[in-house]
Structure 1
């Protein structure tokens, strides 16, 4: 289970230490979403026990943790990068852009940002990269939960307008149902045209129309 080890190593609670994570690099549709979290030093144990890497939590447990986290127990910010920005910058740089936007939505700038992963991120504060940070840092794990639930809810809203793709179930990932819908319905403006299944579909359509 994640704990406050990395937060304490980087000066918490005397210094403000934020956890940062993003979701949505792999899908073929929808934005990348990032979140950052700063905890108080006296976080109740009951809440700590709810927090883990978002991928390890069931949808119901993840939602309960999200509701607790966004209910006033921590400072948090959320940022996103659009499909257009993913296509223009590439998904890695777009993810970093989403992180910077999330950081800007905090009420104050932290002294240190703990970031999940190993690819260095350019942020306006000290940065410490932590591989598998969502499994070891409570702040990063909390950020992963907020980012994941926020993005899932966004994809559910988009699914009401684009109901053929099953985004309320697959969150924009290239599942068999989603790929079949691409063949039967075609590509919409929320698809990432540079990603292989979508680009292949567009290339095939161009060949047939030539």
Structure 2
């Protein structure tokens, strides 16, 4: 389980750091802004989750290797946008989907290991999967995407429910779950699946 946990951490960090850096550059932020949004996108959701679950927030500072990885990903995108961005436009939604499911599973696991109920597992999965992105969008002066159109947080909820009821911790079952849900996320993006929304005059 430890190796799987580390792999999910690496994948999620790369995906979300890249997302934060690209949005910062799209808003013409300087290099500090690029690093800040990359960091917040990658680690903000986990920090918010820890606050909500009563976990020590200081646990976030035990991830030095992931901090360095986040720093390097953002720096690479900042220095070589013409090399990275064309590939991101093609593969970004897939990478983001992998990051979403990886972090959502981790969030659910944290709540489950604390013997908390399903509602806490769902909240932890959603916050870990989308919390950093919401803060990123707010800092970039954008309406959080997860709150206005796409079916996004639903996939984190699905992972939490399945993980909780089937007591998934590791192995092929976890990878199968993450692959299926990540695929559904990509399909929902291209098919433009949206939750119902209404506008009051």
| Higher relative helix content | 2
Larger RCO (CA under 8 A, 6+ residues apart)? 1
TM over 0.5: no
Provide TM-score, normalisation by structure 2.
0.28
| Higher relative strand content | 1
